[in-house]
Amino acid sequence: MDKCIYFKDYSEKLNYSSGDHIFSAAIGGIKKLDKGFVSDEANNALSKLERKAYQNSIISISRQSHGIGKRGKRSDKANIKSAIVRLMQSKTDGEYSLGYFLKWTPIKIGQFCFDLVNHCVMNVVISPDEKDTDLLKVIKENWTGHYNIIEYGKLDSVALLGFHEDKWYLAIPSENSLETCKKLINSLVNAESMIRIRTEKKISQTLAYFPFVYDENYYRIVAKTAFNYLASICGQEFILNKDFDKIRNYILHGGDNSNYVRAADSNGMHEFIRTEIINANNHFINIVKQDNVIGAMISIFGFISFVRLSENSHLLIEDYGYICDIKNQKEMLLSDYLSQIIFKNTI
């Protein structure tokens, strides 16, 4: 039947054209719920939440290191297109730059470097792959006045303006430097020529600065993953039970994270679990019930969370485990995954 497990009270007014993933395609998930479980309206709303969660949370660098692009595409082209531009620092000379990671390799984007003390353009950095790019022409033809701001205090007297996939990124030490940057950008847009251009060809160790955070967006998507998996194994009628109304509302609208999801770590876990099940190459979920509480343990790229799906529930469930093998692009029951490991280690 077509009845949205999220907007259950409004299901008759909704559309159902596709199934929703258990583990999101954005992190390599494959299996979907049957069509009719999640409405297009709920899917669209939660997809926006997923985008924020996976771009800005603690797992974003892991996602890019696996080369997972938009909608789960694995090609370098797809990964570059959806890459998250960050502020990076060379461990060799300490210089800052704008760029992204492609399968753990730092890639610098074309950028202007501003001297905020002398109010001038210090240089232009062009990556080796873009050595024929005329960055001055790029800004003249593509400047819209819109940019994503990256604020980092240690930039001190330097600001960076970079361009990637039709978007501009401005890294500044503080808001106080914004007006100076705007004037410098305006001078570039109206400039006739660029004198000092440097093509960046050095190979160096690079550090990336970005928020390693567990925020509400991330927690809600973790809860959604557990909720979708429970729906897949217990069925639509089961998950529509009023016992799950609180977690349903939390996923859709947010709330106090501590009532539903909390981060954990692998300390104290058996070495086999830490290395074979909970690691950077797998997503793992285990559903359990204890003392009328239905909960889940989820690991995404090795980052573990506990989810409280329902409390004081008299619904009957068994323990269920599920693995998404990102590296080999497979999904299976935990029991099948363990059988493969045991067989591999005994032949």
Mean pLDDT over residues 308-327, rounded?
A: 89
Reported as a pLDDT band with limits 50, 70 and 90, residue 14 is: very high
How many Å is the Cα radius of gyration of the chain? 24
Strand order in the sheet with 111-115: 148-151, 167-172, 158-164, 111-115, 120-126, 198-199
What are the DSSP calls for 133-193, one per residue? Answer: --HHHHHHHH--S--EEEE-GGGTTEEEEEEETTEEEEEES-GGGHHHHHHHHHHHHT-S-
Percent with pLDDT over 70 in the chain: 83
Arithmetic mean of pLDDT, 288-314: 92
Q: How many CA atoms lie within 13 A of 100 on its CB side?
A: 24
> Is 279's pLDDT higher than 90?
no
Phi (first) and psi of residue 28, to 5 degrees:
100, 10
pLDDT value of position 196: 45
For residue 253, the number of C-alpha atoms closer than 13 Å in the C-beta half-sphere is 8
DSSP H or E stretch at residue 18: none
User: Which residues are 198's β-sheet partners?
Assistant: 125
What CA–CA distance (Å, rounded) separates 154 from 341?
A: 47
**Residue scoring higher pLDDT (22 or 2):** 22
The pLDDT value given to residue 82: 67
pLDDT, tens digit (0-9, with 9 covering 90-100), for 129-148:
666 678 888 898 999 999 99
pLDDT score at 131: 62
**DSSP character string of 205-247:** -EEEE------HHHHHHHHHHHHHHHHHHH-HHHHTSGGGHHH
Q: What is the model's pLDDT at position 91?
A: 75
Measured between its terminal Cα atoms, the distance across the chain in Å is 46
Tokens of 155: 């930039």
Provide the pLDDT confidence category of residue 104 given band limits of 50, 70 and 90: low
Alpha-carbon dihedral sign for residues 337, 33, 38, 81:
positive
Residue 45, pLDDT score: 92
Give the list of residues 6+ apart from residue 21 with CB closer than 8 angstroms, or none. 29, 30, 31, 32, 33, 228
Distance of CA 17 to the CA centre of its chain: 25
pLDDT of residue 72: 55
25-60 confidence digits (pLDDT tens): 888 899 999 999 999 999 999 998 888 777 766 677
Cα-to-chain-centroid distance, residue 262: 18
Angstrom distance (rounded) from CA 297 to CA 286: 5
Q: Please check whether residue 323 is in contact with residue 332, taking contact to mean a CB–CB distance below 8 angstroms.
A: yes
Mean of pLDDT values over 66-95: 70
Q: What is the pLDDT of residue 228?
A: 97
Residue 317, helix vs strand vs coil: coil
Report how far residue 177's alpha carbon sits from residue 312's, in angstroms, rounded to the nearest whole number: 55
Most confident among 48-52, 286-290, 315-319 (mean pLDDT): 286-290
The answer to whether residues 123 and 197 touch, using CB atoms and an 8 Å cutoff, is yes
pLDDT tens per residue across span 173-217 = 999 999 999 999 999 998 765 544 443 434 344 555 554 566 788
Evaluate if residue 295 carries a pLDDT over 90.
Answer: yes
3-state secondary structure of 4: coil
Instruction: Return the SS3 of 292.
Output: coil
Nearest Cα neighbor of 302 from 252, 265, 343 is 265
